[in-house]
Chain A
Amino acid sequence: MPIDRRGFLETAALALLSQATTPAFARDAHIADGAGRRVGVPAKVQRVLPAGPPAAILLYTAAPDVLIGWTRTPRPDEKAYLLPDAADKPEVGRITGRGNTANLEVVLSHKPDMIIDAGSTTQTYVELADRVQAQTNIPYALLDGKFDAIVATYRTLGQLIDREERCNKLATWCEQTMRTLRSRIDPIAADKRPRVYYARGPRGLETGLAGSINVETIDFLGATNVARGAPGGLAQVSLEQVLVWNPEVIVTLDKAFAESVLNDPAWASVDAVKARRVYLSPRLPFGWVDSPPSVNRMAGLWWLAKLLYPTLFPEDIGALTREFYALFYQVNLSDADVAKIMSG
Chain B
Amino acid sequence: MTRRISGNVIAVAVLLVGIAVAFGVGRFPVSLADVATALWSRLTGSPSGLSPSVEAVVFNIRGPRVLAALCCGASLAIAGAAFQGLFRNPLVSPDILGASSGAALGAVTAILLSWGIFGIQAAAFVGGLVAVGAVYAVGATIRSGDPILTLVLTGIVMGALLGAGVGLVKVLADPYNQLPAMTFWLLGSLSATTRADLIPLTIPVVIGAGILFALRWRMNVLSLPEEEARALGLPTGVLRLVIVAAATLVTAASVAAAGIIGWVGLIVPHLARFLVGPDFGKLLPTSMLLGGGYLLLIDTLARTMAPIEVPLGILTAVIGTPFFIWLLATARGSWS
Contact = CB atoms under 8 A, between A and B. Distances in A.
Nearest to B183: A234
B191 A205 contact: yes
B177 interface: yes
A322 interface: no
Given A244-B27, A269-B51, A236 B177 contact: no
Nearest to A292: B176
A236 B189 CA distance: 9
Interface string B132-176: 000000000000000000000000000000000000000100111
A265 interface: yes
Contacts, number: 103
Interface in A8-35: none
Nearest to B191: A238
Given A227-B307, A269-B51, A269-B53, A238 B175 contact: no
B228 interface: no
A266 B189 CA distance: 18
B192 A293 contact: no
Determine chain A's interface SS by DSSP, over half rule: loop
A244 B27 CA distance: 7
Interface in A198-227: 200-203, 205-206, 209, 227
A240 B309 contact: no
Nearest to A239: B61
Given A238-B191, A239-B61, A266-B60, A291 B28 contact: no
Interface string A259-286: 0000001101100000000000000000
A206 B180 contact: yes
B61 A240 contact: yes
A182 interface: no
Contacts of B60: 239, 265-266
Interface string A26-61: 000000000000000000000000001100000000
Contacts of B308: 209, 227, 230, 232, 235-237, 241
A196 to B, nearest CB: 15
A221 B57 CA distance: 32
B61 A266 contact: yes
Nearest to A234: B180
Contacts of A229: 307
A76 to B, nearest CB: 15
Interface in B32-62: 51-53, 56-57, 60-62
Interface in B103-142: 116-117, 120
Given A240-B27, A291-B177, 5 more contacts: A201-B192, A227-B307, A243-B28, A243-B57, A292-B176
30 contacts: A52-B175, A53-B176, A97-B175, A98-B175, A202-B117, A205-B191, A227-B308, A229-B307, A230-B307, A230-B308, A233-B180, A236-B191, A236-B311, A237-B307, A238-B65, A238-B191, A238-B303, A239-B60, A239-B191, A239-B192, A240-B303, A241-B28, A266-B56, A266-B60, A266-B61, A266-B194, A269-B51, A269-B52, A291-B176, A291-B177
Interface of B: 26-29, 51-53, 56-57, 60-62, 65, 116-117, 120, 171, 174-177, 179-181, 184, 189, 191-192, 194, 303, 306-309, 311
Interface of A: 52-53, 72, 94, 97-98, 100, 200-203, 205-206, 209, 227, 229-230, 232-241, 243-244, 253, 256, 265-266, 268-269, 287, 290-293
